[in-house]
Amino acid sequence: MPQQDWHASAGQVARIGQLMVGAMVMGCLAFLVVALTIVPAQGAKPLGVGLLTVLVLSWTVGVIPLRFLVVRLFAAKARARILRGRSDTASPTPHSPERTPRSWRESGMPAIDAKAFLPVCQAQTLIGAALMEGGAMLAVAVYLAEGDLLNIACALLLMAAVALHLPTRWRVIGCVERQLDLIRPERQTAG
């Protein structure tokens, strides 16, 4: 039943993440609606792509690889911290064998609490979503300044990317299992 314990916790982490990512999407959407009602009242802007629109286009294209890099670097640092036994979870025994997945116990690897990776997975989701949200907000702000509909397209694309970060219980479980798979070679080289 210990595995079900962290699986149940994964559901709680997913629900919290859903609220946070949903709030990010709704915040962007509200800002977009306000911008779309303000700009037509200001009148037509001159044609041409402004410097800020180029910045938004660059961010929209560049944030995808940046997101993968930042999230992976964060996860690698967190795995190293967990390997050293400094977990940020509230668990009183972060390395208790009964909470370690069965595949780890059967392989003879020392115990690592799978629950220690739940905050890592939650943070990965929020970091990735926040990078996209920042770009979406920037695109809407530049639309307010320049009135170029290209910024609205970028904002909608980035809002969709934020919504794709919406966690589910199975995504969180998969994330924890990936972290456990990645930590195995790190443990063998560290030990």
| pLDDT top residue among 163 and 87 | 163
pLDDT tens digit sequence for 153-188: 999 999 999 999 999 999 999 999 999 888 876 555
Residue 100 lies in a domain: yes
Segment 71-89 shows an average pLDDT of 82
Report DSSP letters for 81-121, one per residue.
HHHTT---S--S-TT-GGGS-HHHHHHTPPP--GGGGHHHH
Residue 68 — very low, low, confident or very high, per pLDDT cuts 50/70/90? very high
- Could you report how far apart the first and last alpha carbons of the chain are, in Å? 29
Residue 46 lies in a domain: no
Number of structural domains the chain divides into:
1
The whole domain housing 153 covers: 6-41+51-87+94-190
Residue 5 — very low, low, confident or very high, per pLDDT cuts 50/70/90? confident
Residue 148 lies in a domain: yes
- Whether the predicted pLDDT of 41 surpasses 80: no
Residue 42 is predicted with a pLDDT of 62
Residue 85 — very low, low, confident or very high, per pLDDT cuts 50/70/90? confident
pLDDT tens digit sequence for 114-126: 888 999 999 999 9
CA distance 105 to 98: 9
Residue 158 lies in a domain: yes
Residue 1 lies in a domain: no
Residue 141 lies in a domain: yes
